[in-house]
Structure 1
């Protein structure tokens, strides 16, 4: 008889815990729905990482070096 009472109490407790976990806004918060899809990431403009990667800088450096050498530009 006591076994039957313990079994019924255990089933009721399990049912209440499952219901509380599934209810939104409760302490458990419920299961979350799927995330909304993210939009495409905005592309950042690509730029040189260092001065020696920048073609404009290299051209200016070469122009200055030629001007300093006295050779025609």
Structure 2
């Protein structure tokens, strides 16, 4: 017989599966597009930003988040 723990575990697995699926969709979208034009989150990097910051890998929003986490390079 299923109890509250089983229901909670099922809900947690469904939430994790949804998160992974969403992340994979975003990564696939970023991979299909030119990496210089699309951030890993799937958002297009504006041309003005790409010209102002040659080699930019993140949109402004993701860059701010990365800087707050202390990430200074890469796609993390």
Q: What range describes the TM-score normalised by the shorter chain of this pair?
A: 0.3 to 0.5
Which structure ranks higher in relative contact order (CA pairs < 8 Å, sequence separation ≥ 6)? 2
Higher helix proportion: 2
* Structure with the greater alpha carbon radius of gyration: 1
What is the TM-score when the length of structure 2 is the normalising length? 0.33
TM-score by length of 1: 0.34
